[in-house]
Chain A
Amino acid sequence: MTAVSYVPPNVLPPLLQKFAPLLKRKWFRQLVLAPPTITRRRFSNKTEDYGVFKPSLIAHIGQLSIYVQDIGRSRQWYETLGGLRHSRTCEQEPHPFKPGWTIRCCYMSATEHEECLVLVEERDPEGKVTVPSGMSFFHTAFELEGNRLEDVFAFAAQAKQAGFSRNYGPVRHNSQPPLGDGETGGNVACYFYDPDYNNVEFCGAMDTIENYRARYGDTKGSSRA
């Protein structure tokens, strides 16, 4: 099938993608945040100034289903870049909440997570495949095997060698040079657009309840903003 070429409005233009690594420079972040700093509106985005971790009622994310224009094209992308495994592709079935519409589902598995991703072709009542808007989610993230900084860097190198272009990263989402981009979470991450411009993160080494206090102790987040 022929996919429609559509670039969602939230996609980072190529020029901005080239400048994005500057976020790893503290002077650049300070420059961008100069207006709220001068006007005293700036505040900390660090976790130690917010969360007290407690268990929630949720254990983990079980599955995500995203719209794609061409299951074959997307399946190849997730297999080749992310190493996801094809579990099964189903026949067309009624759309779960749009009467008269249909969907076709391709179930993909990660090494430790069965059928975690569903690639969905959605067809309107005339049988025409819909074009994903890109505006339901900002990104979705897969944890990489090994779950270490080195694994994310090796993954990024492996992806580059295979011809995939990153839209951001690898960076570490904290303020520590040389990799920190001033964000929060501590995870080391790189980002790619799939064939429908769904933004996909591959990451590792995210802060946890156990290691967060050990890493930062009683340091106030505002002191390392």
Chain B
Amino acid sequence: MSAHVGQPKIAAAKLQHHVMYVSDLNRSKDFYMKLFDLQFSALNHPDSSAAMRLSNQEMHFFSFGFYHHDLCLVKHHKLKMDNNSMLHFTLMARDRDAFDAIRKRAAEMSISVRDGRLIASAKRQPDQRAFCLQDPDRHWIEIIEERRP
């Protein structure tokens, strides 16, 4: 790489979607759909997708309700996933009611939660609620209440 110095003309506007490895697609699909109401929007399988067939992967797509996909779960059929390249990711609960609903569902699903933000140096807004939990593959998820101006 011989990158030039200076700001590119077209820049990233926002983090839009994230595609992470899981070890059991059905278990994780149940988890994310039950806890967050994520909408299953497509399935790329080695029997349906040339790219997945070539890469030995299977991908399940989920929508938050606006874009086609916001979070995707991938199973690599040859390689083993781990937790050594990602520390955590944050999901913004739609509003106060959504935040409370996720917290309630986590309790009903017997998921251990940890109050507050995960990383000590992360910014904290006054009165903004946050808690963290782990998915079935021990990926850390931080849930924060979206603040509307």
Contact = CB atoms under 8 A, between A and B. Distances in A.
A44 B36 CA distance: 26
Contact of B121 (A44, A93, A130, A143): A93
Given A52-B39, A132-B85, A141 B119 contact: no
Interface residues of B, number: 85
Nearest to A194: B1
B81 to A, nearest CB: 5
Contact of A105 (B15, B72, B119): B119
Contact of A207 (B1, B48, B67, B85): B67
B25 interface: no
A176 B120 CA distance: 47
B92 A61 contact: yes
A219 interface: no
Given A50-B40, A136-B139, A212 B68 contact: yes
29 contacts: A33-B48, A36-B46, A45-B42, A45-B43, A46-B42, A47-B61, A51-B63, A58-B64, A63-B122, A64-B18, A64-B88, A64-B89, A65-B89, A80-B6, A81-B3, A96-B87, A96-B120, A103-B87, A111-B11, A111-B14, A122-B87, A135-B81, A135-B84, A140-B19, A142-B13, A146-B10, A158-B9, A164-B3, A208-B66
Interface of A: 8-10, 12, 16, 23, 28-29, 32-33, 36, 41-47, 50-67, 76-77, 79-84, 90, 93-94, 96-97, 103, 105, 107, 110-113, 115-118, 120, 122, 130, 132-147, 151, 154-155, 158-159, 162-165, 181-187, 195-196, 198, 202-203, 206-209, 212, 225
Given A137-B21, A143-B12, A184-B61, 9 more contacts: A33-B48, A55-B65, A60-B14, A61-B15, A61-B16, A61-B92, A63-B90, A80-B6, A118-B87
